[in-house]
Structure 1
Amino acid sequence: MKIIYTGLLTLFFLSLLAIGDNTMVRQDKDHKIQQKIDSLNNLCASLIYSDRDQCKIYAREAIKEAKKVKYNKGQGAALNIFGHIHLFEGNYDSARFYYYKAIDIFKSFGYDKGIATCYNNIGLINEYTGEYNAALSSFKKSLEYELEIDNQDGIASSFNNIAGVYYYKAEYEKSLYFYEKSRNIYRKINNPKEEVSTIINIAAVYEKAGKVEKAVDFNQEALLLSREYNNKQEEAIALNNLGSNFLLLKDPDQAWHYLNMALVLRDKLNDRIGLSSTLKYLGEVFVLKGEYDRAIDYYFQSLKISEELEDQRGISETLSLIGENLMEKGNFEESVGYFEESLNISSAIGARMEVLKNYERLAMAYAGQLMFDSSSRYIYLHGLLKDSLNFNPDSVNVKVENPALTVQQQQIKNLRLALIFSAIIILFLFIALMVRKK
């Protein structure tokens, strides 16, 4: 059985600080130096997605000049940008270091906007490392500061990132709800450049719901906008996700076309997180073509990067793909080890959709060894979890929560569904095994 993953959700919008405050007239002798620092930081903000080497040069100069004249706002902004650079490159400890340094500086003079931005980006690091509850805490802390100062751009960014955490926790109604809130704000304030991130993310939710053609439309729109505004990072994400879409549509040639463009761009950007994702999808192209040995080479390249980055979600996903590759070649016993390791990681980080997929894979792997007791156990667990993940994107509205069944009613419903599902799957497994033996 081939399990195709959705595209990596977009790198959530990094709220780069708008430094130039034209309404404030500075009366001190360092006014011109402060203007220079503001200009350097704004140049960094414009280059963060396209030329990070040059961005580093400008940021270092901004920090040096800001320290000379004790311009805390400019120094904090440059530190924040250094955090972004390290985040993009997968250096999470360094990114946290710079963000917390920036927070300390911003707190020294009560700059709430800067504090909110840094908490937002610390949340991103927690999200990448699979620490979803910590990520939600950081994003909500950022949102509190943004609401306090009524910063609509920042509020939209926080909604976007909160939605991303719910996506990876497989709480799709909440995810789409917050993505739509984010997009509505960007439309209201006429900010199409930053709307791109929410378009990509909404596409990912629709792909997850099985509405792949609709996801393609959203990703094509995002690709055009990212190119219009020269946002190379999100252009690469849109290309990557279009590759994922066409994998689901069983079109390996189109998938290869988009994924190769994504790979070249991500390599140029030194986007190691993105490279790991794209390598996984390139492996899946060869799975579609039945070239399993070529596929597994890409998977191990992806796994190596994810392990170096300590990207728990990426490790879990790639281990599953390696196990699936082995299972396709008839190595059922060996595949179990990969699935179980993936299951342990996905359970620990709360990635429920990945947990669900591992239950299904383990059921197949044990059935392939004629170990039907073990297979049935995972079928049962799959049925219990699957019901809680059912999702229809068209049902999402202003209300996030739906009235819940009582605990007893829900348990009865889950048990009935699990039994029905188990019977169907066992029949399917039996037929599949008979076909393999022939």
Structure 2
Amino acid sequence: MSSIARDSGMRLAERVRRHIAEERVEATPGALISAVRHEAEASVLGDTAVLRMAGRVRDQLVGAGPLAPLLSDPSVTDILVNGGEVWVDRGRGLERSTVDVGGPDDVRRLAQRLTAACGRRLDDGLPYADARLPDGTRVHAVLPPIATSGPYLSLRTFRQRPYTVADLVECGTIPPAVAPVLEAIVAARLAYLVTGGTGAGKTTLLATLLGLVPPTERIVLVEDAAELRPVHPHVVALQARTSNVEGAGAVTLTDLVRQALRMRPDRLVIGECRGAEIADLLTALNTGHDGGAGTLHANTPADVPARLEALGMLGGLPRAALHAQVNAALQVIVQVRRRTQGRVLDSIGVLYPMGEDRRTTVVPVWQRGRGTGPGTATLSRLLTERGVPVPPILGARR
């Protein structure tokens, strides 16, 4: 959009805003169309033109403004605004966008409008906010002077489309020979964590694997922000809540895990393990709740034990107790990675106690580019003990 067109749209949006305020009506689609006709003197225009103008004005008033086209692009996963620059990620890494968001004041107004729509405060007194739009898009904003060359605005889009294992095989995320291994892990009710860096596709893969859970089982999801949408007939979702402006009313993941245990879960799933709730999850998995799952930030599978140690300490678990709990509760680590060609399954490993102190170690079962590893025997044994056939690749160690 050219700067002239953008300025014209901003002026029209301001006139429509005043008109809506003077008429004291809600900014519904019908009210916006009526206001656009009135303020733009567009009654001689066709309905299509008026609807298009009303859509643009709505984006300026209550929507994402100039970022709306990017949010509607199904290939875009992240939108990052640095002052007046816009960067997007379409699964191939960040690239500069030609979208014009205006100057710092325009970005500030956009950030405040988006966060206010989610009931969050963003101003000089609280110059940062983390919010979630009604369509599921995650919004994070930081204002100057905290943002030295800002404002900064980060949006993580939420796509409603669910994926199947076949979809991920077709797009190259999962090698065809490895897909049966993931299916066997779910069928055997082994507890697993999907690990990886930010934006590596952890949530997408976890939701896909949850779609393999038999329809006779009940899945209870516990999430900081509702993102998982598995294709399954019996899913119950719980979402954490931050405190209000008075600092009250917070509901933490730890609170939700304890509530979930009273809801008869066949599969207890934590969308992202990031704090003291890991202690409650491990306790739950050690008391008869097989097949649990979650995601965890970790750069490599070897980093997972240390990451679990750090989180366990937040929950009051000493190191020795944490490793004992992990060894009994979790069996599999599924690592994903973001590469230039897209997001891929990078490795599968099993958790195994090593040494006299029985410290948890991740032993490779399969690694991209390297094939199967020493963990195949352990995973094969776990599958056999639970009556699940061992996939052919696990008997083809190289």
TM-score computed with the length of structure 1 as normaliser: 0.27
**Structure in which a larger fraction of residues adopt strand:** 2
Task: Return the structure number with greater relative CO, CA threshold 8 A, min gap 6.
Answer: 1
TM-score computed with the length of structure 2 as normaliser: 0.29
**Structure in which a larger fraction of residues adopt helix:** 1
